[in-house]
Amino acid sequence: MTFALLLLLAATPTASFDRTVRVPAADIRGLELTIKNRPGTIDLRYRTEDAASRVRAVVLAKADQPRFRAGRTVAELASTPYAREGSLKLHLVTPGDYVIILDNRPDPRHDAQVQVRGHIAYDAEPVTAWELPPRRKAAVIASSLAVFFALFWWSGRKVIAAVNEKERRERLLP
């Protein structure tokens, strides 16, 4: 079991990063990354070198970085709270250019030295859509219709019985 797990991990293509980033006081810094050709999972850990520094990590599309810097609302794919250290894990389905933003905006006086470590694990095989064979597709459709009409018939009986009972009571009352 352990050997099979090690083989699976060895077969999964990854890209690692380990950087120290200086984030100026009341500013942000971005680490650009590209997810190529197929979906991948980002696993990120960060830690500030100074115990008093608090930063947060935000993952977003690279195209949204100028809007984020300007303080406008953007679609954050993942984020952490402001803390001395943190981690996040995010599965990105769409290949493209992304950025990990280290945000030190709440601290107007101190720069933050942040150690960022992580890796991107790409899916082993691209996910492909498949279609049922024609005979199985017909069986699924037929069974679904049979269940639908059985439920329709059963509930219809109950509704008709309730309507008939109401009409019968109305005829009996003066």
Tell me, yes or no, whether 89 and 118 share the same domain: yes
Domain boundary among 122, 146, 162: 122
Residues 14, 51, single domain; the answer is yes
Q: Which residues of 26-44 are buried (b: 16+ CB within 10 A; e: fewer)?
A: ebbbbbebebeeeebbbbb
148 and 103 co-located in one domain: no
**Per the structure, how many domains does the chain have?**
2
Q: In whole angstroms, what is the distance from residue 58 CA to residue 76 CA? A: 7
Co-location of 89 and 147 in the same domain: no
Residues contacting 140, CB < 8 A, separation 6+: 132
Comparing CA positions, the residue from 2, 1, 3, 11 lying closest to residue 121 is: 11
Domain assignment present for residue 3? The answer is no
Instruction: Give residue 1's pLDDT.
Output: 41
Residues 32 and 118 in one domain: yes
Give the CA distances from residue 148 to residues 134, 144, 160, in Å, rounded to whole numbers and listed in that order. 21, 6, 18
Q: Is residue 2 part of a domain?
A: no
For the beta sheet containing 14-23, the strands, ordered from the edge strand earlier in sequence to the opposite edge, are 14-23, 112-122, 40-48, 85-92
Q: In sequence order, what E strands does the chain have? A: 14-23, 28-35, 40-48, 56-61, 78-79, 85-92, 96-103, 112-122
User: What pLDDT is recorded for position 82?
Assistant: 95
Gap between the Cα atoms of 145 and 137, Å rounded:
12
pLDDT given at position 174:
63
Residues 41 and 92: beta-carbon distance below 8 Å: yes
Residue ranges, the chain, pLDDT below 70: 1-12, 125-129, 174
Question: Are 109 and 151 contained in the same domain?
Answer: no
pLDDT for 128 equals 66
In terms of domains, do 103 and 145 share one? Answer: no
Residues 147 and 73 in one domain: no
What is the predicted pLDDT for the residue at 7? 38
Q: What is the pLDDT of residue 62?
A: 95
pLDDT value at residue 9: 44
pTM assigned to the model: 0.65
**Alpha helices for 53-133 (secondary structure H):** 65-69
Read off the amino acid at residue 5: L
Provide the CATH number for the domain around residue 24: 2.60.120.680
Residue 44, domain extent: 9-122
* Whole-number Å distance between alpha carbons of 95 and 41: 11
Looking at the domain assignment, is residue 42 inside a domain? yes
Would you call 149 helix, strand, or coil by DSSP? helix
Whether residues 78 and 145 share a domain: the answer is: no
In a domain, 80, yes or no: yes
